[in-house]
Amino acid sequence: MSTSRPSSWVAQTLIETPLGCMRLAVTARGLGGAWFEGQRHHPGELNAPDVPTHPWLVQAREELSRYWAEPLAAAFTVPLDPAGTAFQQAVWSALRRIPTGHTWRYGQLATQLERPNAVRAVGAAIGRNPLSVIVPCHRVLGANGSLTGYAGGLTRKQALLNAEGVKVPA
């Protein structure tokens, strides 16, 4: 994953998912965005042509389709280029280490990053994750195992976890 901001979007497309429309966008270095329409921190209108045949958009769409069909067997290998600070990049990288069908707590993630007192900062970085589903921020739960925060909405978070076989108390 890149540690710098994408200089510009190269291509974008809108795809249908079981949880609503998702905007995918690529830079010259990889997939920089995968946002559910209407989610918090969605960048809004992007200055990029609609090119659904761009190879990385095709790859991301295919990998997401496999995820929706069989979450426990799916893998994301599309090159990634999310824009964020060094700390956000570290958090997003750590999120990718959470296995499908498992969850971590915010505090556990902060400890993994050797920043045990940075739980709130970790939560803020998770909330800014520009690669929904692909960088699995939905797999992070509150300290007591409760369903908390998700920029795409708690209904989507619950649906993603259910699809992965994770049972979370309502």
Q: 21 an active-site residue?
A: no
- C-alpha 68/C-alpha 26 separation (Å) is 21
What type of residue is 3?
Answer: T
pLDDT at 156: 93
What is residue 43's predicted lDDT score, i.e. its pLDDT? 84
Q: What is the pLDDT along the chain (170 residues), one digit of tens a residue?
A: 443 344 589 999 999 999 999 999 999 999 999 999 988 888 888 999 999 999 999 999 999 999 999 999 999 999 999 999 999 999 999 999 999 999 999 999 999 999 999 999 999 999 999 999 999 999 999 888 888 888 888 899 999 999 999 987 66
71 close to 17: Cβ distance less than 8 angstroms? no
Phi then psi dihedrals of residue 80, to 5 deg: -115, 145
C-alpha–C-alpha distance, residues 44 and 26, integer Å = 15
CA distances from 134 to 33, 47, 79, 160, 169 (A): 10, 22, 11, 11, 24
In angstroms, the CA 25 to CA 50 distance is 9
pLDDT of the residue at 3: 39
Instruction: Give residue 143's pLDDT.
Output: 85
Q: In terms of pTM, does the model score above 0.85?
A: yes
Among residues 137, 140, 141, 161, the one annotated as catalytic is: 137
Q: Which two tokens stand for residue 159?
A: 């649906």
